[in-house]
Each structure stands twice: as C-alpha cells, then as structure tokens.
Structure 1
Amino acid sequence: MTQADRFFGPLADVSADAGYGDDHPPRVGFFTDTSVCIGCKACEVACKEWNELPEDGLEFTGTSYDNTTQLGADTWRHVAFVEKQKPATTVDLGLPGVGPPDEQKDVAWLMSSDVCKHCTHAACLDVCPTGALFRTEYGTVVVQEDICNGCGYCVPACPYGVIDQRKNDGRVFKCTMCYDRLKVGEEPACAKACPTDSIQFGPLDELRERADKRVQDLHDQGVDVARLYGADPEDGVGGDGAFFLLLDEPEVYGLPPDPVVTTRDLGSMWKHAAAAAGALLGVAVAVFAGGRR
C-alpha cells in the first residue's frame, strides 16, 4: 500500500500508520451539525474548565456575541456567530433573527462550534522537529506541552490556522479531543456539554454515515444549502477527524474552501534537492580531477 493510499483513500488507517498495529481502537472524531447549534457556548466553557485553559474573552469585541473571535492557544473550541441575510431555506429551520422585530425576517445567525480538525494527513506532524505532536491510538493529533520547544513550525503548516502559540513562552496548544478522557472511556467535555447534540462524538465511520443521513433529511425538507465539510476522504487533507454540516459556503464560517496539506510536496522537494546536490558533487569532483591533471 502506497503512502497516498494510506492518507487519501477509504482504506486510510492513521493509527496503524503511526505504529499502533491492527489492534488499536477505532478512529474517533467529531461531527458538528451547525443546523442545531444555538450558540450557547457550553462547549467553550466545558473545554476551558476541563482543560484548565486561561480566560481570553472578557473584552468586548464589537462582533456580535462572539467574545473569543477565533481558535487559539487558550480557546480550543470557538463558537462563531455569523450575521447575514437570511435565505428562504433558513425559515424552515427556525434560525433566530437579529435586530428590531420588523427586520428579523431578513437577518439570521449562523452558528458553528469550530475546533481542530485532527486531519487524516496532518502537516503539523510532518514539520514538528521534537516529536511534541503525535498521533494517538484513537487517530487524533495531540501536542505534548512538556516536549514542545516553541519553534512554531507547526503554526504556518496547519491549513486551517488552528494551532497557536502562547505569548508567554511560545509553546503551542490546541484541542486534544480530551485524550485523557478517551483513555478512561469518557467522551470529550465539549460533546458531553452540548445541549442540542450539535457536537456529536464517536467512531468516525459511524459519524460519516450519520452525517450523510442528516444532510439527506435536510435536503428532503427543502434545505438545499446543507452540505458536509471535511468528511470527504478524497479531499486535500485526506478527510478530517472533525467535520461539519454547514448551511452556507465554508468561507462564511471562516473556513478555507479547499484545504490542502501544506507538506504534500515535501517528498518530491527532497528528491529534487538530493538530485541537485548529487549533480553539484559530480561537478566538484570533475573540476578537482581536472585541476590535478
């Protein structure tokens, strides 16, 4: 099996590829159904409480009720509030309106709880020089804060802009999918706290089947804008361990439309570099030999 087969196809087994053998647990992940997100931020609070993350959202931002604004070293779950003109299909979903009562027919909130995608092919793993980032037996990607040296290579490597450094020491932090809870058979804190089941946790294959059915149900209800993001194992990152049901284009939610693993060309780059180095060495030997004559 080629590396491309492992990373970018239906046979992808990231845990086995990471060295866990055939007896590892099934790969787990998140399916976030934004159509039922109410923006309560219970997931943000639960994540901060369980992981003992510092506060970072007490200042008024001027952007609706979104006080944390984006994912970061101290915000591993971020609930986005997107105010926009309401398409006709959102009326059927009962999305809350904003503004004065006479304007609520035209404006709506789209809400979505964002998180690290735990990519099938994670560029952050490729570039980490210390092994601080590693793939767990559950297929998730975790940062070991006691090994991270703060080099920051993983920050620009992430196609989603998820990984962030803390200003006080430069080390990176992000969602671990509550690895400590998984080890004892508990679901992640955010999923457990979500009151509407917008955040669903479980084996990734089961979540993808459930998500496909949910999209079909919405289409049957006339909600044609519903689509999945990050669920396709043939996409630019081999599919995500955390994927979403969206009610608009990814860019509306602040997500890249076509994410691509940023280290996809590393292999060919090294081959070209080796070939160039070999050619230079050959020239140097030829020059040296000619000089001796």
Structure 2
Amino acid sequence: MTHEHSFYGPLADPAGDAGHRDHPPRMGFFTDTSVCIGCKACEVACKEWNEVPEDGLDLLGMSFDNTGMLGASSWRHVAFIEQEATLGRQDAGLSTLPTGPSGTVVADGTVSQALPEAARGGADLGTAPVHLGFPSFDLPGAGSGAESRTSFRWLMSSDVCKHCTHAGCLDVCPTGALFRTEFGSVVVQQDICNGCGYCVSGCPYGVIDRRPDDGRAFKCTLCYDRLRGDMEPACAQACPTKSIQFGPLDELRDRAALRLEQLHEAGVGEARLYGHDPDDGVGGDGAFFLLLDDPEVYGLPPDPVVPTRHLPEMWGYAGVAASALLAAATAVFVGGGRR
C-alpha cells in the first residue's frame, strides 16, 4: 500500500504508517458536549464491557463528578462544570437543530428519528427545566421555567483518550506494549506492559495512567474487540443523546463542521471544535470535541504538543554528534600512533 504522508496534515495515515495494508477507514469519536446530559451511561458501559474496576464513589466536592479525571480505572470521565454565566440563546431557538435527542445529524444535514416539537421543547443543549418532585428551597435554577435560571449554566462533557495521530505514548514505550491498530487507534497490551511509566509522561493530555496494584498502564482501547466484531464502542452505543458519535473520522469531521455552523447561526458563538485540526501539535485527534467554552474550562490543554514531536530531528542531531565524536577519537588515535 502506498500513500502520501504528512504527520501534521490531512493526508496522515497512522494505520498505514504502522504497517497495516488495505486497512479500514480510520475510526474515532466526535463528542458533542452541547447535548451531553451528564447521565454517565458512557462511564458505566465502558466499565461493564471492558471490566474496568470500580474507582471510588467520592463526589470530590464537584457536584456529581465522582471520577475527577481520566485514569487507569476511569477510561471515560464525565465532567460537570457549573458556571456563573448566562444561558444566552441556549434555551430558545435551538430546538430546530437536528442533533442529540431530537435526531441524529448526518453529513448532508438530514435528520433521522426526529421527535415532535412539543416533546423536544428547548432541550437540545440540556437546559430544559426538570421538575424533581420536591421543594426547591430557593436553590439556584429551581424555578419552573427557563426564565428563572439565566444566571448559571452547566457544561458537561465525556472525556476519553484522544488516540492521537502522533501518539507520544506509543513513541516512548520500550517493550512494544502499545501498538497502533488497523483502525488507527492506540491500544495497550497489558500482558506485555512492564509498568515503566514512560507512556504516562509521553501523553500530552494526561490520559494514560498506571494502576497502583501492579503498576501496569491502562486506557481506552476504542473497544478494539468490539470493532473487530463490527460493533461500535460500548460508550457510544449507550449514549442516549448521541453526544458521543462514532464512525469514520473523515465523516465525523464533516458532521462536526455542520453542527458547529448550526450552533453559530443559532447564536451560540462560543461553540468551537477541539482536536479536529490535523495541523495541531499532535497531528489531530482520533477523538475530538465540540466545546461551549475554552478547553481549559474542561481540563483540556489549549495547545497540546506531543513531547516526541521533534524526536526524529533529535536522533539526527545525536547521530551527527556521535559521528563527530567518533571522527575526533579516530584522529586522536591515528595521530598518537604516528607519534
């Protein structure tokens, strides 16, 4: 198989670079945080399918966030971010957007499984009022209508391994425990991992981590076993609002661009894409996001750069230096022999 290649451009082919011939399209995630309702179905499905051990039920003083961050036993992390910010037009004018609970967006803009307008209300960004069945006690946002909760908003997002085009964890692994699959994802083989921890420092997102009991590294596999069986990852299948969308990465990028345009036209100017750019510091992510605020708000680095980005150049410089040292040593040896 031959292909044009650019590590930091749209023609990058990580599966092909890894030696997979006639491989399927690169698969990935597009997470639309604007329709995430924080239900944690993705966390539960991930743990159940992959047999990821329980990692604590401490709420951490952060609303309903009981994981805090991604780790060896948290391959999906749902962030709950409460902001003192007005809702703007999120409660009005977005009910016609073809996404989330109201239907699945496809690249050509058509809508499938659309619900009646009356059932949808204005909930496409998860801001419709919900009656909880107990007294409000004057809590913020406890009113019966959207007009009573315009002083704060919730941002929710399901984070996951980015399966980078240029993966630092893969570059630094000395045992070959990490490998690139035919789908373009990055997987850790626990039976080969020796727990050295190099991959932890090699990840620009702080995703991969080691379990304290045996020191081996763990992270999301993009449900590699399910992909080989022609099934979608467990988290995407369990997501009730289609906030987590799975498919060929090129199609997801087109879909994300359409969704972003729709949000901007609806007055949500703060919406932005994160991790979709093949010219960024990791060559683009296999799992990218639509955010409603700066990446730092979600605990994401604003400009991620893989630590091994300049590794080939460094090896080149090391080779030149070694050659120069060898030449100098040879000259000294030859000169000494002549004397």
TM-score, normalised relative to structure 2: 0.82
Give the C-alpha shift of residue 53 in structure 1.
0.8
- Answer yes or no: is the 8 Å Cα contact 2:31–2:288 preserved in 1: yes
Give the C-alpha shift of residue 44 in structure 1.
0.2
Count of matched residue pairs: 291
Residues 181-200 of structure 1, C-alpha deviation per residue, up to 9 Å, x if partnerless? 11111100000000000000
The residue identity in structure 2 corresponding to 1:178 is: C
The residue identity in structure 1 corresponding to 2:27 is: V
CA pair 94-24 structure 1, distance change in 2 beyond 3 A: closer
- Answer yes or no: is the 8 Å Cα contact 2:28–2:287 preserved in 1: yes
The residue identity in structure 2 corresponding to 1:238 is: G
CA pair 283-4 structure 1, distance change in 2 beyond 3 A: farther
**In structure 2, distance between residues paired with 1:198 and 1:225:** 18
- Answer yes or no: is the 8 Å Cα contact 1:73–1:172 preserved in 2: yes
Residue in 2 aligned with 1:194?
239
**In structure 2, distance between residues paired with 1:154 and 1:76:** 16
- Residue 78 of structure 2 corresponds to residue 79 of structure 1: yes
The secondary structure found in structure 2 opposite 1:129 is coil
CA pair 104-211 structure 1, distance change in 2 beyond 3 A: same
CA pair 146-30 structure 1, distance change in 2 beyond 3 A: same
The residue identity in structure 1 corresponding to 2:64 is: Y
Task: Flag structure 2 segments of 5+ consecutive residues without an equivalent.
Answer: 93-124, 130-138
- Residue 28 of structure 2 corresponds to residue 29 of structure 1: yes
Give the C-alpha shift of residue 100 in structure 1.
5.6
Matches within 5 A, 1:1-293: 5-21=5-21, 23-87=22-86, 88-92=88-92, 93=125, 95=127, 99=140, 101=142, 104-292=149-337, 293=339
The secondary structure found in structure 2 opposite 1:286 is helix
The residue identity in structure 1 corresponding to 2:270 is: V
- Answer yes or no: is the 8 Å Cα contact 2:36–2:126 preserved in 1: no
**In structure 1, distance between residues paired with 2:273 and 2:141:** 32
- Answer yes or no: is the 8 Å Cα contact 1:6–1:17 preserved in 2: no
Residues 71-95 of structure 1, C-alpha deviation per residue, up to 9 Å, x if partnerless? 0000000000011122424444453
Give the C-alpha shift of residue 10 in structure 1.
1.5
In proportion to residue count, which structure has more helix? 1
**In structure 1, distance between residues paired with 2:249 and 2:321:** 43
Give the C-alpha shift of residue 105 in structure 1.
2.2
TM-score, normalised relative to structure 1: 0.94
Residue in 1 aligned with 2:118?
none
The secondary structure found in structure 2 opposite 1:7 is coil
**In structure 2, distance between residues paired with 1:263 and 1:113:** 27
Give the C-alpha shift of residue 261 in structure 1.
1.6
Task: Flag structure 1 segments of 5+ consecutive residues without an equivalent.
Answer: none
The secondary structure found in structure 2 opposite 1:6 is coil
Greater Rg by CA: 2
| Identity %, equivalent residues | 69
